[in-house]
């Protein structure tokens, strides 16, 4: 687990760390070759992806496709361990291809998208909702100063996520959920904080979709996310849920019924004055932003008058601090294993006794709405 957690750090923080002159190495568990299908409408991008992935002896590109339709045809003959998927393509775009794959023969899909394209960023989050497991920026060309770190991020993501266990995504009209509500407790909650990593965007969307618009407390969110995609994530949440969501600014007054996303390269905490505190401090954890930093800050300031929610993701970020919140009387929730893309962070919290409840996404939303009065 430690190696996976370090890989996550590389994916989310590599560019920032290397720019500060720190040398990073990592090792992956030895295993069979990872078979990858690369899908992109640009032959030059496919050549670049193939070149990058073939630099790692553990990865084998077994095919390429110029459209989503051709990718589906390829899957009739061969089954890769993972697919890298572009968004904007002719015949069938990446969003539709992702939906079909996840509803018929689920395979881990990483969206490799141009973060500078607003239309692609929007479709990227709809693809995550459809079942893609992660998003990463499209690597720059060999002569670009960001080429090496973006290539490293892509390789690390593929190695980490290729063996994620997936289940078939049923079309929405067929999807039926039976949710058992947890035992009722009384609480005087003044703030809700949520932490998530891989698989988190779709769960956060589900939770916010079911929040009453007059929720009398603010919601602060740390989502580990690839650089360049935060603004698109915010826009997708607002459009999909109707819930007001903002990228947090330093010393901003928290408004009840609003959500706040931690910005890239800043730790997000709270103050006794009811404002958000942003810092570039690396205390507590090397992830930035980190769930641990937010949860500890809220535990110190709000104590029992808080609710903490730890969602899907690899590693341990936020697990110890969720336990800290519970020890101070806060209500704490960990996402259950069955609904988690990666049962890492919530599992760690459950194992150390950090969760009051262990619930699937819909039940998490219902519990927040019921307990926050």
Please enumerate in sequence order all residues whose Cβ is within 8 A of that of 169, keeping only pairs 6 or more positions apart, or say none. Answer: 99, 102, 103, 106, 130, 131
Catalytic-labelled residue, pool 197, 292, 339, 340: 197
Angle (nearest 5°) at CA 34 between 31 and 36: 175
Euclidean distance between CA atoms 166 and 339, whole angstroms: 10
User: Three-state DSSP class for 35?
Assistant: strand
Identify the helix (H) or strand (E) that includes residue 65. Answer: strand 59-65
CA distance 340 to 344: 9
Dmax over CA atoms of the chain, in Å, equals: 61
CA torsion 129→134→137→138, rounded to 10°?
-90
Q: Which of 317, 336, 339, 340 is catalytic?
A: 317
Residue 19 annotated to the active site: no
SS3 assignment, position 247: strand
- In angstroms, the CA 94 to CA 113 distance is 10
Residue of 306, 311, 351 lying closest to 325 (CA atoms): 306
Q: Name the active-site residue from 224, 290, 297, 336.
A: 224
Is 317 tagged catalytic? yes
Take residue 119 and report the two structure tokens written for it: 């239309």
Alpha-carbon span 361 to 365, nearest angstrom: 6
For residues 71 and 80, what is the distance between their CA atoms, to the nearest angstrom? Answer: 11
In the residue annotation, 113 being an active-site residue is answered as no
DSSP string across 160-226: HHTT--------GGG-----PPPPP------EEEEEE-TTHHHHHHHHHHTS-TT-SS-EEEEE---
Q: Which residues are catalytic?
A: 197, 224, 317
């Amino acid at each position: 687990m430690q190696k996976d957690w370090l890989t996550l750090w590389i994916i989310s923080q590599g560019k920032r760390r290397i720019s500060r002159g720190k040398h990073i190495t990592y090792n992956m568990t030895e295993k069979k070759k990872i078979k990858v299908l690369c899908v992109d409408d640009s032959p030059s991008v496919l050549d670049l992806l193939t070149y990058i992935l073939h630099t790692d002896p553990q990865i084998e590109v077994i095919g390429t496709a110029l459209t989503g339709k051709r990718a589906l045809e390829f899957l009739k003959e061969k089954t890769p361990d993972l697919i890298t998927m572009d968004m904007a393509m002719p015949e069938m775009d990446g969003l539709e291809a992702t939906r079909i794959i996840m509803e018929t023969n689920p395979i881990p899909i990483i969206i490799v998208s141009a973060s500078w394209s607003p239309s692609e960023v929007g479709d990227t989050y709809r693809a995550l909702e459809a079942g893609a497991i992660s998003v990463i920026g499209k690597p720059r060309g060999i002569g670009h100063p960001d080429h090496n770190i973006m290539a490293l991020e892509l390789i690390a993501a593929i190695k980490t996520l290729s063996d994620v266990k997936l289940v078939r995504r049923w079309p929405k009209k067929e999807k039926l959920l039976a949710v058992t509500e947890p035992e009722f407790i009384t609480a005087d909650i003044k703030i809700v904080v949520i932490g998530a990593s891989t698989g988190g965007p779709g769960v956060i969307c589900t939770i916010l979709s079911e929040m009453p618009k007059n929720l009398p407390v603010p919601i602060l969110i740390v989502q580990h996310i690839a650089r360049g995609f935060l603004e698109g994530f915010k826009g997708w949440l607002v459009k999909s849920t109707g819930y007001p969501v903002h990228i947090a600014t330093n010393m901003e007054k928290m408004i009840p019924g609003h959500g706040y996303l931690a910005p890239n390269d800043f730790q997000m905490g709270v103050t006794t004055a009811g404002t958000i505190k942003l810092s570039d401090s690396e205390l507590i954890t090397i992830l930035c932003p980190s769930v641990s930093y937010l949860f500890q800050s809220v535990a110190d300031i709000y104590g029992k008058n808080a609710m903490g929610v730890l969602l899907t993701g690899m590693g341990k970020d936020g697990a110890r601090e969720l336990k800290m919140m519970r020890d101070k009387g806060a209500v704490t929730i960990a996402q259950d294993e069955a609904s988690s893309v990666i049962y890492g962070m919530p599992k760690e919290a459950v194992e150390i006794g950090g969760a009051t409840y262990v619930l699937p996404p819909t039940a998490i939303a219902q519990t927040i709405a019921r307990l926050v009065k």
